[in-house]
Chains A and B, each alone.
Chain A
């Protein structure tokens, strides 16, 4: 009978509980499926790019000896940053009995983005991100464009409120914002390095003359 209020029975409660669990399972299933599809797509694009480079005979040179050493130091810096951030996060989790403002996998994803940002910016600063002779111009555009797109996505999540869950904690909706920040920081670092390199090359030409 419609409109008539009924006392929820144990059976109904059980049913609604299992519905929520089913919904959560479907949500996590689609989340994992989306993640897997993303990984597969990136792998396909990378292998296609390599095959095209191989066909065109444009295989980039390996990193030179200074770059290999510099990359080692950059990995070290990123590792210790990640390590320290992990300790801080663990302490916060102990003090506040869990993350008060972060939900599910978000703390771990923040740490991954932090480590990646530190490594990439340090490698760019030490001229150890691009191989010798590899053009960085295209990457500035790609990283910049992808970063802006992700930032727009992240801002739209903030506006429609989907970045926070019911408890007001940051949900996986903040991924776009983090990816956008990472990509824009990377693009900015490449751009700054390009300007510095252009100036250094011009100075060298001036010295030669």
Chain B
């Protein structure tokens, strides 16, 4: 029987998922198939990607897009698939029978269905298929009741609505649907004697009428959530309390990384003292934003053409690059060879057309963006090999022996096509940029925060963790002071949920103006004052890649095995406060820390398949547990009265452990040589703070109870 249960289900669900589990190892499916119509949209432009994929990622789900024009994948027997997400954009289907049959087969195999109305099936033309699709989502009924100011809210689960804004006035019309027995109705509305369950968690998954969950901004404003999308997705997909692979946190601290694109490298700074000396913006950035921060890693990505005299580059630009690359905190990226502005232009490329646009003979298409031309330098026909492998090779000529280009930092619109992403993989480069994440006064919604990445054509692009200054400065033309307020995004993407790492991402043209330099400095200083774990851009890209590959097995009640995680080293559990890591039962867990309402468990990179036990009030554990650290930690070994580990990172190695109360002798060695040794005290709670001298190369640290 359908009932209202106006209580939060979270705790019950968590207890259910963690407490009642089968004894055999069972893979926890974490892929959602999102259907779309390729005539109306693309994965990257779809509403699923732009609104739902970030919350899904936060809940540990990865999204696989399937164009309904293609043969739909056979998912019924695929243990990796958790469910289907259907948020339709485009015309209703002329021939929906195959789609409905496919969904029914998946449902029969236990896959969940989240249907966000309206349905892609026209009820008038295909009443039976319409009914069957709704039934697959756990809904029934039909017939539209139009708005017109008469719709009333009959029921809403407390705390579920008003997530970013209240329900609209007047309420929209609705499909007269009712949730099937066994459902929980989250929102019910009515008009006169008609009523509808416009948001419901059903035994099959979930249903939501789009107008009741997402507000489309007026007059060009951004979208805002009317309801809590995390709660809806968590419950509709029966995700419980985790574990969820996490890309925001490492060894108990928020991840920090930074990168600079090469745009404006050779521009002469307009800061008077530097302008007189014709100082390049890149040198100003080096002097003010990189050199003073040896504890804050940054990836610097020149445009290869700036370094190549054949393309207008200069030797002076190369001198600055060489100096930057030699700094210990600097890692190297590539920002392409000729700086494409609109990557899509080169997918189906015509050199004569590009020449005509560059010469002003052909009017540029609006899709070329504010630059109005396909790329910055067009002396030769576009060549994939040149943009990727040759650019990296050209930049590497200026790199010290121990460093090489690690990451392709996408230029321009950061919408690379599959072949160019494939080229980065062939060149053994990671790739990043795009996403333009932002949540602040101008974009007061988490819809402004991107997914971790986007997949298309068998390739995957990793998005930056935040938007760069272009989004604040009208693409580098005005309001140069404004980028300082990017820290609003960093704050709002941290609480009440940690949705993003801190990523200070800017361009070399920030060195052109005093306000820009001060804005970036402000952000770095702000980040520096927080509890962060600074990593390189490549580290983050690897962690993000790990998110897409990791799999999780349930191996017992509250016990999970983590497989194939790559560089991803944190699993998050959204569990009540009395749940904790049972370290005695776990393998490969460095420790755990509560942040917001979640428990973040740090994994030991040296352990290939860690096992985690999470339970209510676990037995006390005599061994050392890491709470948080500024440096990544690995190879933890515990013995009675002793623990040792390997760690290295940027800045001082500040870390907090829980161990047996009392005095401890802590010794740090590099290549067998003692470089620091001190006696510390673990307080009555067993908390001991260790501070190691700066060392980007790994130190072996031993702690012995005295």
Partners in one complex: no
A residues in contact (CB < 8 Å) with B:
none
- Interface residues of chain B, those whose CB is within 8 Å of chain A, are none
